[in-house]
Each structure stands twice: as C-alpha cells, then as structure tokens.
Amino acid sequence: MARILITSAIPYINGIKHLGNLVGSQLPADLYARYQRGRGNEVMFLCATDEHGTPAELAAAKAGKPVAEYCAEMHEVQADIARRFGLSFDHFGRSSSPQNHKLTQHFAGKLAENDLIREVSERQVYSNADGRFLPDRYIEGTCPNCGYDKARGDQCENCTKQLDPTDLIEPRSAISGSTDLEVRETKHLYLRQSALKDQLDAWIDSKTDWPVLTTSIAKKWLHDGDGLQDRGITRDLDWGIPVKKGEQDWPGMEGKVFYVWFDAPIEYIACAGEWAEAHGKSDAEWERWWRTDKGADDVRYVQFMGKDNVPFHTLSFPATLIGSGEPWKMVDHLKSFNYLNYDGGQFSTSQGRGVFMDQALEILPADYWRWWLLSHAPENSDSEFTWENFQASVNKDLADVLGNFVSRITKFCRSKFGEEVPEGGAYGPQEEALIAELTTRVRAYEGHMEAMEVRKSAQELRAIWAAGNEYLQSAAPWTLFKTDPVQAAAQVRLGLNLIRLYAVLSAPFIPAASARMLEAMQTGDDSWPEDIAAALNALAPGHAFTVPEVLFAKISDEDREGWQTRFAGMRS
C-alpha cells in the first residue's frame, strides 16, 4: 500500500469561489485522492481556508464584522460548499489555527538561527486618519497610466499595470477614504531566498516529471532579470500571526504580523496537526506524513494549484522548508493548471463575473459540474466555459452514454427477468471481445490517472462507458430474447455487472452518481477491477437490484438560455 499526501491550494477567505478556482486546484486534487483511495492506497488529503492578509480585513470591514468572526463564518460557508461538491478532504483547516501560529513562528525562528532572515528599513504609506501603515492594496487612487479612478497601490485592475502607491494620483485610504497620508519609515523581516537559489535550482532540476508549465514558471523567477529576490515576510497589520522567533519575542517587530504568503503554505503542515487534534490522535500521527525522520520518507507528496500559485510553491515554501534545516517532507509532484475562462471573458471574484460554486449547486447537482470541469480541465492551455458546450457535454456524455446504458439494461431486465441478475447462458465471442477491450481501456485509464492527466482520464472513462453501449446495440438482447432467452440472460447479466464496474471506475469523477449505481445494484462491493473478467462476474445470478431513477437529466435549450442570461453580468 502506497502512502500519498495531497494538498490543493488553499482558497482565500474573502468570499465564495468561482468554477475556475475549483477546477484549478481542489477538484483535480479530489479526483486524484478518490482514485488513490479506490486503488487501496493510504491517502491524506488536506486543504484549508487562507485567512490572513489585507483582503480578509477589507472583506470583514465591508461586511461590518470583526475580522475573526468574519473568517470563522466564511470558513463554515466554504467548508459546506466543498462538502456539497463532494470534495473528500481528510481535513479542511484554517490558516488562523493555533497550530499554524505555532508552526509559522517556529519556522521563522529556525530561519533566523540559520542566518536566512534580514531586517530591512522601508518607507511605507501611513494613514493618519486610520492610525496605521497601509499595505499597497489598502491605497486607492487614479492610475497614471489609464486614468482609472479605483486603481490599487500594487496594480491597476483596469489596465493591469504594476504600480507603487506613490505612483497614484490623489491617493486615498481604502479603509477610511482619507487623503491624509504620509510616507514613514518602518522595519520588516525578509527571507533571504537568494541565498538558497542554487539549492532550489538543483531541486527543481531533479523534478523531471513535472509539467512544463510548473518548471518554466519556477525557472523564470529563478533566472530572469536579477534572479531570485529576497522577500518580505512581515506586515504592519492587526490581523495575522504575531511575529515571534519561535516562542521568543522578536525585538523591533512588536505589533507586526507575518505576511500571508509566508504563513499560508505552512498551513498545509499545520492542517495535519489540526486533523490529528480533531480525531484525538497524537502528534506522531501527523508527523508520519510530514517529517522524514518520523515516517514520511516513504510518502509521495502531490500538490495541485493554478499557475498563479506556482512561484510560492516551487520557491518560497521550499525555501522555508530547506532553510529550516529540518527534515520536512518536500513536494514530489506539483500539478499546475492554466485558467478556465468564462463565455468569452474571464471569471472574476472581485467583479462577480461567471458562475460561483454556490450558484452552480443551486442549478444542478455537483456531478454535472464535476464531469464538465474535469473533462475540460485547463491542463495544457487555458480553456473556456460556454453554456452550449456544457449542455452538449452533459447531454451526450452523462445522459446519453452513461445514464441511458444504466436505464436500458435495468428496465429491460425487470420487464423480462424480474429484478434480479438472470441465470443461464455463457459469455461468448462478443462478450470476450468486450472484456478484452475493457481490459485494455481500464489499464490505460489507470495510467492516465496515475500520471494526473485529467482530460485523458475523462476521455478514457467515456470510451469505457461507450463500449458498453456499443455492446448492447450489437448484442441486442431485446431481439435475441425472442429466439434465445437463455443467451439473452447472459448478455443482461453482463450488462448489470457493467453497471457495478462503471460505478467503481467513475467514482473519482462523479461520486454521487456512482453511489446511486452501487445502491441500485444493491452491492457494497466497490473493489477496483484488477481482473475485468472477474469483475464482470461479481454480481451472481439471483442477486437482487432495483431500477434507479434517471441518473442524469438532460439540459433543455430553455434552461441553458435562462442560465446564460442570468450569469451574463455582475453577481447581484
């Protein structure tokens, strides 16, 4: 049994995520976790909410709530939506947890011991009205490049130009709107990433099986321009993990917190600690996943994320782990994704453009979305969600191919043989040919899933479903029944066993429908089909079943048009 640690990029706390966020990390990670569990491997699948930093404070202020209360509420909202999407996390934690406070401070202390932290004096904007330094995102003004009057101090969202707060025309506080701003000196801690450049370079060079997208982004940050830069790891904010050197105070850093990018990846480890506490387990139980001196040396660690998160996970987080000098488990494979665009434009959380996870579930059950998103995952390039494509894919793949197969064979059996697997007859050349084809296809499916080739896996699974339909069409038991009911019984028996097989193979993609198929077949046998011939004899003659409700309803043109109109503009 292999041990596989899986993390997906932790979603930010400031609101409900859109489908592009979902397919860029959590959903393919869940696909892989479900598959590996199905193969009998030991899996630890961790995720959390990312709760610190400027946007959390702004979102809480907008909601009129204390930031801790806002984060607690939004964590519950995100956890609930994740459950309803069938995301099978072993634990869904919080970066504001006591475990992450302690671990982040621990790492900072170790990095300082190893001379990998330096103090830097900076000049930052201070708001007299707010009585605080303002991070770049807290400062708004008019963009000097395009004239957009709501440009932020780090970037203009309208023309995308990178900015400094001092570039803005008529700058003001995003908190109070005050223009009473001044530039003051403040001290911050920087992680000396540049000192670890050669080690990071060699480590990335060793990852020959990583996607080109992942390594190319990492190499760009390592070598372009002046190469890998040191990075600030502290901020003048109220909300966050207080700056400490392990358990000791850090002179000169009073009132400061660690920068969100520093503490957020550490939450992957802390999340395992939260899992252990939640289940009454000892520290040894989570350390066996994360410490190579305590059992994690045989763990395969896989991360899933959108391409915008790659620099932090290939450079900054590894720099923290390597720089600590401690035996932490490093990532083995980093699966990164391009962007999913929406109907000719981009999804945008800030602008409310596109379909968000809660809205998707109001319209249709999770499996409809899971299938479309995974089968169109933006692996090698950006992909685009259109309502026409969504409708066509659901209607063809789910309703016509899989749903129709299940409906036809169960209803035909009920009408001719009753609600149990019929006996009589034997598998002949047609059945042997199908078993041979399915054996080849299932092995190919396993290969794609192991390699995390999401779209290829979906294509192979669809072909496995289609093979059953083609067999039924060719064998035509409803016709054969009139002249040879015994042989027709064997064909129906094979068809019913195919439903169980499809349920097991499809579970990573469409877990709810898979469970309904197993329930209809009245079996708890979800063992992986190592031997296809044996798997197609799992339900013996006399085994009872029920005819399930329609697995997947077709999407009508009227529904599609209505949804297109509803989601064309801003989220209300």
- Annotated binding-site residues read 143, 146, 156, 159, 349
Look up residue 555 and give its DSSP letter: P
What's 315-383 look like in SS3? HHHHHHHHHHCCCECCCCEEEEECCEEECCEECECCCCECCEHHHHHHHCCHHHHHHHHHHCCCCCCCE
Secondary structure element (H or E) that encloses residue 43, with its range:
strand 42-49
Binding residues for ATP: 349
Residues 6+ away with beta carbon under 8 Å from 549: 516
Query: How many Å apart are CA 43 and CA 4, to the nearest integer?
Result: 5
Please count the CA atoms within 13 angstroms of the CA of 391 that sit on its side-chain side.
13
Token pair belonging to 188: 């911050």
Query: How many Å apart are CA 8 and CA 302, to the nearest integer?
Result: 9
Token pair belonging to 272: 């395992």
Binding residues for Zn(2+): 143, 146, 156, 159
Residue type for 160, please? Answer: T
**Alpha-carbon Rg for the chain in angstroms:** 27
Query: How many Å apart are CA 189 and CA 113, to the nearest integer?
Result: 14
Please count the CA atoms within 13 angstroms of the CA of 55 that sit on its side-chain side.
13
Whether 414 contacts 547, CB under 8 Å:
yes
From residue 4, alpha-carbon distances to 43, 280, 403, 473 in Å are 5, 22, 32, 41
Among residues 355, 358, 356, 354, which one has the least CA distance to residue 81? 358
Secondary structure element (H or E) that encloses residue 446, with its range:
helix 429-450
DSSP per residue, 59-93: HHHHHTS-HHHHHHHHHHHHHHHHHHTT---SEEE
- DSSP, collapsed to helix, strand or coil, labels residue 198 as helix
Among residues 528, 380, 527, which one has the least CA distance to residue 443? 528
Whether 304 contacts 9, CB under 8 Å:
yes
Phi, psi (deg, nearest 5) at residue 372: -65, -45
Residue type for 495, please? Answer: G
Token pair belonging to 164: 């400094």
Q: For tokens 């072909």, what's the residue?
A: 463
Token pair belonging to 384: 């685009």
Look up residue 196 and give its DSSP letter: G
CB neighbour burial string for 372-390, b if at least 16 within 10 angstroms, e if fewer: bbbbbbbbeeebebebeeb
Burial class, 238, CB count within 10 angstroms (exposed 0-12 / middle 13-18 / buried 19+): exposed
